[in-house]
Amino acid sequence: MKMTSIKMKKILEERLKSPEFRTSYKRDNDVFRIEWKESKKGISVRLPQVIAKYNERGNEAIDELVDHLEEALTIMNEEHQLTGMEKHIFPVIRSTSFPTEKKDGTPLVTREHTAETRIFYALDLGKSYRLIDEVFLQSENWTAERIHENALFNVRSLSTEFKVDTVSDNDFYFVATQDGYDASRILNESFLEEMSKKCTGELAVAVPHQDVLILADVQNDTGYDILAQMTMQFFAEGRIPITSLAFIYEDKKLEPVFILAKNKPRNKKK
């Protein structure tokens, strides 16, 4: 039987039933919301996206969403601090279209990255994390620069183990540890430099969604085409999409490019 928004709403209401929660559904924009009755803090979910994932993965997609919502709601009611949690602060890569403030208007701590991506910062809480906002930062008497330096130090400590696949003489490297910070490894400059030296062609880097970092040693036109198709597919399937464009890494800089064989970047390494 075909899944509809009303059916999905009823499933989520049943799975998330609690005397402490209030749920609502806005038919005009197809959004389901669950929040704490007392504080009114909560999360809104667009049901068409949930249904699309359900059609692909069945009940597993609903189980994953419910776990995420329960964890996120619990975190909302907890008190957190930065001091003493320095090793749990990490950078998070998001698209430039990602909201830079919370629902209540509180600005999130961000930093410019590329024309396609922006850096946010998270306090890791185990199964989930909290994005760091300006009020949280000020309450701890921390500066944005201190957060950034701390986050970069920690991301360098994460594993950069990868799987490699070679197609038409082009090597594709995949970092996908599922720790929530795979895309964040694009900020590990020493890792990118190491991969750049390893490459005999042009180093291209992609962060189509949060849970993967793709690096490619591009040797020919086919390599650009494969990377373009691969990045688009990952972008479409990712839980938190970032960008379908890839970047050329050269001279410690990332330049977004439309990777099509007919207009591929010039000046490839010899």
Read off the pLDDT of residues 186-236 as tens digits, 9 standing for 90 and up.
Answer: 999 999 999 999 999 999 999 999 999 999 999 998 898 999 999 999 999
Q: Does residue 212 lie within any of the structural domains?
A: yes
Same domain assignment for residues 44 and 129 = no
C-alpha 234/C-alpha 214 separation (Å) is: 10
Same domain assignment for residues 107 and 43 = no
C-alpha 217/C-alpha 196 separation (Å) is: 8
The mean per-residue pLDDT over the stretch 36-63 comes to 89
Same domain assignment for residues 71 and 94 = no
The mean per-residue pLDDT over the stretch 7-27 comes to 92
Q: Does residue 268 lie within any of the structural domains?
A: no
In terms of pTM, does the model score above 0.85?
Answer: no
Same domain assignment for residues 102 and 69 = no
Same domain assignment for residues 169 and 151 = no
Same domain assignment for residues 64 and 93 = no
Q: Does residue 110 lie within any of the structural domains?
A: yes
Q: For residue 126, what pLDDT is reported?
A: 81
Range of the domain at 150: 86-155
Domain count, the chain: 3
Q: Does residue 42 lie within any of the structural domains?
A: yes
Kindly state the helix (H) or strand (E) to which residue 27 belongs, with its residue range: none
Last residue of a domain, one of 129, 155, 181: 155
Q: Which residues pair with 263 in a beta bridge?
A: none
Specify whether the CB–CB gap between 124 and 89 falls below 8 A: yes
C-alpha 55/C-alpha 77 separation (Å) is: 32
48-73 residues labelled b (16+ CB within 10 A) or e (exposed)? eebbebbeeeeeebbeebeeebbebb
Same domain assignment for residues 258 and 187 = yes
**Tokens 């850096």 map to which residue?**
119
Last residue of a domain, one of 17, 47, 76: 76
Q: Tell me how crowded residue 39 is: count the other CB atoms within 10 A of its CB.
A: 10
Same domain assignment for residues 175 and 256 = yes
Same domain assignment for residues 70 and 32 = yes
Q: What 8-state DSSP symbol labels residue 135?
A: H
Q: For residue 258, what pLDDT is reported?
A: 67
Q: Residue 219: what residue type?
A: Q
Same domain assignment for residues 232 and 140 = no
Q: Is the pLDDT of residue 19 over 80?
A: yes
Last residue of a domain, one of 104, 123, 155: 155
Q: Does residue 270 lie within any of the structural domains?
A: no
Same domain assignment for residues 149 and 169 = no
Q: Which residues pair with 202 in a beta bridge?
A: 218
